[in-house]
Structure 1
Amino acid sequence: MQAIAGAVWWVAVFLSPAVREATLGGLDPVMVAVLDVPLFVGASAAAAFGLRFAAVLATGWTMAVTVALAGYATLTSEAGWGVLFMAAAAGASVFALCLLILGRVPTEWILVGPFAFAPADARGGVAVHAARTAAQIVVFWGLFLVVGPLVIDLLEQRWGLAVGFPAFIRIAGLVVLLLASALGIWSAAAMSTRGDGTPLPAAMPNRLVIAGPYRYVRNPMALSGIVQGVAVGLILSSWLVVVYAVLGSLVWNFAVRPHEESDLEARFGDEFRGYRAAVRCWWPRITAVPASSTADAG
């Protein structure tokens, strides 16, 4: 699919000035094609037939081109769409390379540092866990909801990809952000006061929390974070920030959540299995499940 898409793109580049300008800017298409056709299109096609070296070559080349094109677009304000297409191709190449070399995508590789699962030190007490939770909120919300979106919005503007949103969309985004943030704080408070731990994977609760918002939905903090990201995108009038939030939700759902739930099942057994059967991951219940004195990391 990547080889075919690349070939179609190159045909469009030489047939359509609009496509050429949007994806390559002022770069000479002939000079780029001399390298890209064999290293991207050709290598991707060879990789599709199981040639591992070709897969490595296509992936390395695609990632290098993405970085170089991003630098070019940032300096010149040209070829913004080319950066997005190559970034998508780089992600697809890495995904395909993992399947070809390893037979799977090693999602556990992202569970390192503060994202590695480990129970919190229960000796700290509620006050300590609450303080650590507050610090985590400041750091992670600041990083993922302020710094990250602002950088993305800046690049979106610089690359000529910005689309203006109506004023009422920004206001709606602000309202949604406040509501989602309230849900996040409520969830964090329930986790730190009832679970002998924090929301951070490296200091997870020692008890399964079925209290507060966890009585309605299994992952209120994840739900809050995703909605917050979308709301920030609406406030900034940045469709790329909205995409960033959606991609984050996919990574969390398909890469992180299975490991988290496996860890919870191993630690809490039937208690967690019963909770998982009663409460959905994303769609809240209308009525709350019975509260439990044990705390939830779900």
Structure 2
Amino acid sequence: MRTAQAIAGSAVFFIAAPCIVAGVVPWLLTDHYHLPLSTVPGFVPLGWLLILAAIALLVHSFARFALEGLGTPAPVAPTERLVIGGIYRHVRNPMYVAVLSIILGQALLFSSWTVVAYAVIGAIAMGSFVKLYEEPTLASRYGAEYETYRRNVPGWLPRLTPWRG
């Protein structure tokens, strides 16, 4: 896939997946963001910090797929190369971590247990998708390269020291 196609495909998938999951659904769960902001000290700034940092992480992750992998995160247009640079040196699933962080940031922002419950359901769904589809697919597509990467980089919680692949 050419770089321009990978960028366009990743942009479309960005709107179709994380913008819906971390944007539209929480927007609906918070009455179109009309819930009052949290009165718990520190929750509002912490929520905003989590949301903004996670958006930056998400954009970075999508860019790595298009520029390094020459593909998209969408299963219908996968990368030509295994993406292991940037944030992927520290965690294998930064897009899922970012999406869940955006949702949890909104839960803090509004002190919403409904949004927390949605994040828990989302985490279970994402974890199941990774185990049942992504890991077997990546192992099949990239073989030993993926197995080495998988052994050296944690799936969900980033490590502080980078893996040198």
Q: TM-score, normalised by structure 2?
A: 0.89
SS in 2 for 1:282: coil
Contact 1:230 1:246 in 2 (8 A): no
Write the distance in 1 (CA, Å) between the matches of 2:47 and 2:145: 37
Which amino acid in 2 is paired with 1:223? V
- Hey, what does 1:260 align to over in structure 2? 134
Write the distance in 1 (CA, Å) between the matches of 2:109 and 2:11: 24
Give the count of matched residue pairs.
163
Write the distance in 1 (CA, Å) between the matches of 2:78 and 2:158: 23
Specify the structure having the higher radius of gyration (Cα). 1
- Hey, what does 1:216 align to over in structure 2? 90
Write the distance in 2 (CA, Å) between the matches of 1:261 and 1:208: 12
Which amino acid in 1 is paired with 2:116? V
- Hey, what does 1:234 align to over in structure 2? 108
Write the distance in 2 (CA, Å) between the matches of 1:205 and 1:127: 13
In the alignment, which of 25, 48, 58 is matched to residue 174 of structure 1?
Answer: 48
Which amino acid in 2 is paired with 1:289? W
SS in 1 for 2:42: helix
In the alignment, which of 176, 200, 205 is matched to residue 79 of structure 2?
Answer: 205
Provide, for residues 15-74 of structure 1, a one-character-per-residue CA deviation record: whole Å limited to 9, x for no partner: xxxxxxxxxxxxxxxxxxxxxxxxxxxxxxxxxxxxxxxxxxxxxxxxxxxxxxxxxxxx
Structure 1 runs not aligned, ≥5 long? 1-121, 292-298
Which amino acid in 1 is paired with 2:81? R
Write the distance in 2 (CA, Å) between the matches of 1:165 and 1:242: 17
Matches within 5 A, 1:61-210: 122=1, 125-154=2-31, 165-166=39-40, 168-210=42-84
Please state how far the C-alpha of 1:167 moved relative to its aligned partner: 5.5
Please state how far the C-alpha of 1:145 moved relative to its aligned partner: 2.0
Please state how far the C-alpha of 1:186 moved relative to its aligned partner: 0.9
Identity %: 33
SS in 2 for 1:201: coil
In the alignment, which of 276, 279, 282 is matched to residue 150 of structure 2?
Answer: 276
Contact 1:177 1:227 in 2 (8 A): yes
Contact 2:69 2:82 in 1 (8 A): yes
Write the distance in 2 (CA, Å) between the matches of 1:247 and 1:288: 30
Please state how far the C-alpha of 1:213 moved relative to its aligned partner: 0.5
Contact 1:163 1:239 in 2 (8 A): no
Which amino acid in 2 is paired with 1:192? A
Contact 1:165 1:234 in 2 (8 A): no
Q: TM-score, normalised by structure 1?
A: 0.51
RMSD over aligned Cα, in angstroms?
2.2
Provide, for residues 183-221 of structure 1, a one-character-per-residue CA deviation record: whole Å limited to 9, x for no partner: 111111111101121112222212111111111111111
Name the structure, 1 or 2, with higher relative contact order (CA <8 Å, separation 6+).
Answer: 2
Please state how far the C-alpha of 1:146 moved relative to its aligned partner: 2.3
Please state how far the C-alpha of 1:249 moved relative to its aligned partner: 0.8
Contact 2:37 2:110 in 1 (8 A): no
Provide, for residues 78-123 of structure 1, a one-character-per-residue CA deviation record: whole Å limited to 9, x for no partner: xxxxxxxxxxxxxxxxxxxxxxxxxxxxxxxxxxxxxxxxxxxx2x
Contact 2:47 2:105 in 1 (8 A): yes
Structure 2 runs not aligned, ≥5 long? none
